[in-house]
Amino acid sequence: MVKVPESMEDLIYWTNRKVGKGHVKAWVYRGECPECKKGMMGKPTHPSGKVKVRAKIYVCDNCDYEVDKEEYEDTLDCECIYTCPKCEHKGEATFPYQRKTYKGAKALVFKCSECEQKIPITKKMKKVKL
Ligand SMILES: [Zn+2]
Ligand SMILES: [Zn+2]
């Protein structure tokens, strides 16, 4: 079962979009710090408290441990609820937060549990044919 997020603050990724005739809501929770196991990993902030959106690292909010953004994201899971663009099945899925190349575009890809249609979540606005 996926856990629908209550707050954006717990997330490092969130999307809500149409995919063909279907629809996908997907999110990735911040993970726990691999070093101290107490803090949560998140994007670094400026002294003013503003998040450094383009930072290439995540830092622990407890011990300041730093990890490479891409390596760390590979270890996380993406959860989603979806309506399949092919069979209209409404379901949920959990899959690795790893972008793959799908028909020439970088996308998170998961399969409909009902009809096995691959459903891509591309970066913003990029259109791919199903
Ligand atoms: Zn830590
Ligand atoms: Zn389907």
The ligand minimizing its distance to the Cα of 32 is 1
Residue 127 CA to residue 46 CA, distance in Å, equals: 34
pLDDT digits (tens, 9 = 90+) for 26-64: 999 999 999 999 999 998 988 898 888 889 999 999 999
pLDDT tens digits along 82-119: 999 999 999 999 999 999 999 888 899 999 999 999 99
Q: What is the 22 CA–ligand 2 centroid distance (Å)?
A: 9
Q: Please give the distance, rounded to the nearest whole angstrom, from the Cα atom of residue 82 to the centre of ligand 2.
A: 10
pTM of this prediction?
A: 0.84
CB atoms closer than 10 angstroms to residue 42:
19
Q: Tell me the CA–centroid distance for residue 31 and ligand 2, in Å.
A: 30
Ion ligand 2 nearby residues (CB, 5 A): 84, 86-87, 89, 112, 114-115, 117
